[in-house]
């Protein structure tokens, strides 16, 4: 689905990769409804949109608020007349600790944002997308959704759930006008740790590893291209691509490899 003149909803659009997705879509002529719980961050996204800000609408809400999400489709339609696609990008990581040390409030927060937030958005918007001549859904899973990352076990479980949720949705919508893509980002140069309220040992960022991080604007380009090309799935970053192949070939070996890369964050 080409995004020009289409209306696309993007969650997590206030910063990082989500902001870059919003700006990329605007550059391609799309109308964009950017959703984020941080109103100040959404205002900064609007400022960065420059002369394309008339094609941008922002909605400050938490995707875990089902009532607010249920009301969102009509708000987007009131602004743009229709809704043609959505990119569920909003997500948080957990504190970098082993499961035995992870508090239940952190567990519930990660599951609520990453999994239930995605489900709420899908349930709210899918009836409207099915009415369009063509539409598309892209859900952001993670490299951690197919590869176990120590210290991010609950995060990984939530993103693995998003993976299968998206694949199941793809199968259910095969004979409809709605395409579906699952996205697997690796290490992206964003401030996801700070936005998730996570402090890591030694002040390192949660994205730290021996892999080179991909610039968020490049990640956004890959994601928007995948939507336009109707891809079933796409890995984002050389690390995600490498580890996807490694894990398919040798799951145990890949697990030991990622442990060696990440174990310093568990110190």
pLDDT tens for 188-207 read 985 655 554 555 554 444 44
2 occurs within a structural domain: no
Beta strands in the chain (DSSP E): 7-11, 31-36, 56-60, 85-88, 135-140, 178-185, 233-236
Q: What is the pTM of this model?
A: 0.92
Query: Given this model, what pLDDT does residue 244 score?
Result: 96
Query: How many independent structural domains does the chain possess?
Result: 1
Q: For residue 56, give the CATH number of its domain.
A: 3.40.50.720
Query: Given this model, what pLDDT does residue 267 score?
Result: 62
1 occurs within a structural domain: no
Query: Given this model, what pLDDT does residue 127 score?
Result: 98
Q: Which two tokens stand for residue 113?
A: 């944002």
Would you call 47 exposed, middle or buried from its count of C-beta atoms within 10 A (0-12, 13-18, 19+)?
A: exposed
Residues of the chain with pLDDT under 70: 190-211, 267
Cross-strand pairs, 136: 85, 179
Query: Given this model, what pLDDT does residue 162 score?
Result: 98
Residue that the structure tokens 């948080």 belong to: 92
94 occurs within a structural domain: yes
Angle, helices 16-27 vs 39-49, to 10°: value is 30
Catalytic residue from among 155, 170, 184, 247: 155
Query: Given this model, what pLDDT does residue 206 score?
Result: 40
Cross-strand pairs, 32: 8, 56
Query: Given this model, what pLDDT does residue 84 score?
Result: 98
User: Is the separation of the CB atoms in 258 and 152 below 8 Å?
Assistant: no
Task: Measure the CA–CA gap between 240 and 233, rounded to whole angstroms.
Answer: 12
Residues spanned by the domain of 85:
7-266
232 labelled catalytic: no
Query: Given this model, what pLDDT does residue 266 score?
Result: 82
Measuring CA to CA, how many Å separate 69 from each of 18, 102, 118, 140, 231?
Answer: 18, 28, 10, 18, 27
């Amino acid at each position: 689905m080409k995004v020009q003149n289409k209306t696309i909803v993007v969650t997590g659009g206030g910063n990082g990769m989500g902001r870059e997705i919003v700006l990329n879509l605007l550059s391609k002529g799309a109308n964009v409804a950017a959703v984020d719980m941080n109103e100040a961050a959404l205002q900064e996204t609007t400022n960065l949109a420059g002369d394309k800000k008339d094609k941008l609408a922002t909605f400050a809400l938490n995707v875990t608020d089902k009532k607010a999400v249920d009301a969102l489709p009509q708000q987007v339609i009131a602004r743009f007349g229709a809704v043609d696609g959505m990119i569920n990008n909003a997500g948080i990581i957990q504190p970098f600790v082993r499961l035995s040390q992870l508090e239940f409030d952190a567990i519930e927060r990660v599951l609520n944002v990453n999994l239930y937030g995605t489900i709420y958005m899908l349930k709210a918007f899918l009836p409207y997308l099915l009415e369009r001549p063509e539409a598309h859904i892209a859900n952001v899973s993670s490299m951690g959704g197919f590869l176990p990352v120590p210290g991010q076990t609950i995060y990984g479980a939530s993103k693995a759930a998003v993976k299968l949720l998206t694949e199941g949705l793809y199968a259910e919508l095969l004979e409809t006008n709605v395409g579906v893509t699952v996205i697997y980002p690796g290490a992206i140069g964003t401030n996801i740790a700070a936005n998730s309220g996570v402090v890591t040992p030694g002040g390192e960022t949660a994205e730290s590893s021996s892999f080179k991080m991909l610039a968020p604007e490049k990640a956004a380009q890959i994601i928007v291209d995948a939507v336009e090309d109707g891809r079933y799935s796409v890995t984002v970053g050389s690390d995600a691509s490498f580890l996807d192949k490694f894990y398919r070939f040798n799951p145990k070996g890949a697990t030991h490899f990622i442990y060696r890369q990440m174990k310093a964050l568990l110190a």
